[in-house]
Amino acid sequence: GNSVTQMEGPVTLSEEAFLTINCTYTATGYPSLFWYVQYPGEGLQLLLKATKADDKGSNKGFEATYRKETTSFHLEKGSVQVSDSAVYFCALKNSGGYQKVTFGTGTKLQVIP
C-alpha cells in the first residue's frame, strides 16, 4: 500500500536559516504529491503540490521537486521566518480511483528570532 515517511521533528531553526524537511514515499503508479501546513489549533492548508515527475511545486518561498528516481519530495525554503512555525505534512494521492490522501506523521518546525 501507499506510505509516506517524513523526517522526525521537531526542527528548530533561527530566523533566516535554510530549511529542508525530507519526505520519501512508497506508492504504485504515478501519485500526486503534496505538502500541507497546519498552524496551531487549525486545520490543514495546502502549501504546494506536484502532479508528475520532475515537477516543482512552489508557494510562499517554499519549494519541492517530485523526484521519481529517489521517490522523494523534500520541502525547502531559503530563509525561514518566525511565522513559518507550524507542522508540515507530506502527502500523496494515487491517480484515478477514489481520492484517498495518505499523509506522513508530520514535522514540527519552530523558528526562533
Distances from the Cα of 28 to the Cαs of 51, 70, 74, 100, in angstroms? 14, 14, 19, 14
DSSP 5-16: EE--S-EEEETT
The smaller minimum CB distance to other proteins, of residues 96 and 113, is found at 96
Give least dist CB 15 to other proteins, A: 25
34 binds other proteins, rule: CB under 8 A: yes
In sequence order, the 6+-apart residues with CB closer than 8 A to the CB of 49 are: 32, 33, 34, 35, 57
48 binds other proteins, rule: CB under 8 A: no
DSSP state of 99: -
Residue of 42, 54, 68, 81 that binds other proteins (CB under 8 A): 42
Residue of 45, 79, 81, 83 that binds other proteins (CB under 8 A): 45
Distances from the Cα of 2 to the Cαs of 84, 97, 103, 112, in angstroms? 28, 14, 9, 35
Give least dist CB 72 to other proteins, A: 17
57 binds other proteins, rule: CB under 8 A: no
Please give the span between the terminal C-alpha atoms of the chain, in angstroms, as a whole number.
41
Residue of 22, 24, 51, 85 that binds other proteins (CB under 8 A): 51
Name the site residues for other proteins (rule: CB under 8 A).
Answer: 4, 32, 34, 36, 42-46, 49, 51, 89, 91, 93, 97-106
